[in-house]
Amino acid sequence: MHFLQNFSERPRGYSELEQVLHNLNHMLSTKRLYGSVWENFGIEDHSCYGSLEVVTYVKNQIQQNIHLYESRITLIDIEEQENTEPFSLHFQITFSLASSTHTASIKFSEGTVSVT
């Protein structure tokens, strides 16, 4: 049901940047193969990977999702950020939108994702 709400709850009155961040949050919060009919939509379970492999694995999935499902932006860079919380990942992405450069923070923590 959550997946279908992504289409019915289009943010109105928001800037294009806010709409992109909203879409990234939904996209990266979706569990791949469970929350969408599209094969590569969302993030796969990464619990089977070691701590060194998981960062590369999740970065690749973020890049793939942005490339496939958020065509309004061009990803410039994605960096892992220092993390003080155990069992969480924190990235910063730099992207261009309508000829402007922006950054966003992506945090995976305790089964939740936040994009700001």
| Per-residue pLDDT tens digits for 48-97 | 666 778 889 899 999 999 999 999 999 999 999 988 887 888 999 999 99
Q: Which CATH number covers residue 34?
A: 3.10.450.40
Count of other CB atoms within 10 angstroms of residue 28: 21
Amino acid at 96: S
Residue 98 belongs to what domain range? 2-115
Number of domains in the chain: 1
Cα–Cα–Cα angle for 70, 27, 67, rounded to 5 degrees: 30
Mean of the per-residue pLDDT values of the chain: 84
Q: Is the pTM of this model over 0.85?
A: no
**8 A C-beta contact, residue 42 and residue 77:** no
In the numeric block, the tokens 């939740």 are attached to 112
d(CA 52, CA 13): 41
Instruction: Give the ranges where 9-90 is alpha helix by DSSP (H).
Output: 16-29, 51-69
pLDDT at residue 73, as a whole number: 96
